[in-house]
C-alpha cells in the first residue's frame, strides 16, 4: 500500500464559514485503489471536507490536489474525473431505471453507442436488465442504493466519493453494498467514504477520525485499535469523541 500512487493530497486545508471553522488544518494523503474512511460525529466537518474535495465548495486556504488537479483553479476537471453519491441516493423517482442511467451518463458527456453500451453493461452487472423500464419509486431501497452507486461510477472515475452511502439501509444490504465497494477498489478506483457506522470503519483500508473539524487520528483500523488499546473501532471513536468541545 505504501508505495502506491498518491491520488488525493491535502495540506493544511482550512474552511471557514464566517467565524465558524468547519475544517481546521487537515493534512492527509489518499492512495490509488484505497478505501479511505472518513469518520466523525454529525457536524464534525466530514461533509464539508468531502464537498471541497469533490469541487462543490471552495476551500479557504491550504494546498489541495485531487486526481492531480488543483482544488482552486481546476474544479471543473476534478468534477469530470470523480464520482459522487450522496446519502439520499439521489435518483429521479418518476423516471425509469434506464432513463436515470441515461440521464446521468449524458451529463457526464457519454453519448451514442458508448452510452448505450455502458447502460447495458451497468444493467447486467446489477442484474436489473428485466427491470430497466420500472420506475425508481417501485424499487426497494437496497436496489436504489446499488443503482445510485453504479450511476456514480458510470463515467469510470478515478475516485468515488460516498457521503454516508448506507444511511437507513438494513445490515444485510449494507454488507452487500460494501462488497460492491471492495470490488471497485480492487479494480483500482479510489473510494473515499464518510460514515458514522463504526463497524463499517473496519472495512476501510485506512480511517480518519474527525472531531470538531480536526483530524484526531489517521491509520489502519488495526493500528488504531492497537494505539488506543481498544477492542473495536467503536471504542476508539468514543475515546476520541470525548475530547470534543460539545461533549
Q: Which residues bind other proteins (CB under 8 A)?
A: 54-58, 76, 79-80, 82, 84-95, 99, 102-104, 106-111, 152, 161
The smaller minimum CB distance to other proteins, of residues 91 and 218, is found at: 91
The smaller minimum CB distance to other proteins, of residues 51 and 206, is found at: 51
- Grid coordinates given for 35: 478505501
Q: What share of the chain is helix, strand, coil (3-state, %, to 5)?
A: 40, 25, 35
Residue environment code for 73-92, b if the CB has 16+ CB neighbours within 10 A, otherwise e: ebbeebbebbbbbbeebebe
The smaller minimum CB distance to other proteins, of residues 95 and 239, is found at: 95
Taking the complex as a whole, the smallest distance from the CB of residue 86 to other proteins amounts, in Å, to 5
Taking the complex as a whole, the smallest distance from the CB of residue 134 to other proteins amounts, in Å, to 13
Taking the complex as a whole, the smallest distance from the CB of residue 197 to other proteins amounts, in Å, to 19
Please give the Cα distance from 193 to 47 (Å, whole number). Answer: 10
Name the DSSP letter for residue 202. T
Name the DSSP letter for residue 107. H
The smaller minimum CB distance to other proteins, of residues 49 and 110, is found at: 110
Taking the complex as a whole, the smallest distance from the CB of residue 135 to other proteins amounts, in Å, to 8
Amino acid at each position: 500500500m505504501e508505495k502506491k500512487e498518491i491520488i488525493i493530497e491535502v495540506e493544511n486545508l482550512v474552511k471557514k464559514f464566517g467565524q465558524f471553522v468547519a475544517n481546521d488544518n487537515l493534512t492527509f494523503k489518499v492512495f490509488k485503489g484505497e478505501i479511505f474512511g472518513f469518520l466523525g460525529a454529525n457536524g464534525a466537518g466530514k461533509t464539508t471536507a468531502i464537498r471541497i474535495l469533490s469541487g462543490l465548495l471552495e476551500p479557504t486556504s491550504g494546498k489541495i490536489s485531487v486526481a492531480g488537479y488543483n482544488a482552486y483553479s481546476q474544479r471543473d476537471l476534478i468534477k469530470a474525473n470523480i464520482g459522487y453519491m450522496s446519502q439520499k441516493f439521489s435518483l429521479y423517482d418518476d423516471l425509469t431505471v434506464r432513463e436515470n442511467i441515461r440521464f446521468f451518463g449524458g451529463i457526464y458527456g457519454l453519448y451514442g453507442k458508448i452510452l448505450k453500451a455502458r447502460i447495458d453493461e451497468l444493467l447486467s452487472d446489477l442484474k436489473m436488465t428485466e427491470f430497466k423500464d420500472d420506475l425508481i419509486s417501485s424499487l426497494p431501497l437496497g436496489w436504489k442504493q446499488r443503482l445510485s452507486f453504479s450511476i456514480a461510477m458510470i463515467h469510470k472515475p478515478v475516485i468515488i466519493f460516498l457521503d454516508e452511502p448506507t444511511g437507513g439501509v438494513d445490515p444485510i444490504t449494507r454488507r452487500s453494498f460494501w462488497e460492491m465497494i471492495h470490488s471497485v477498489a480492487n479494480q483500482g478506483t479510489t473510494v473515499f467514504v464518510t460514515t458514522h457506522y463504526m463497524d463499517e470503519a473496519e472495512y476501510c483500508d485506512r480511517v480518519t477520525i474527525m472531531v470538531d473539524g480536526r483530524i484526531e487520528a489517521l491509520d489502519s483500523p488495526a493500528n488504531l485499535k492497537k494505539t488506543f488499546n481498544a477492542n473495536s473501532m467503536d471504542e476508539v471513536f468514543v475515546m476520541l469523541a470525548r475530547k470534543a468541545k460539545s461533549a
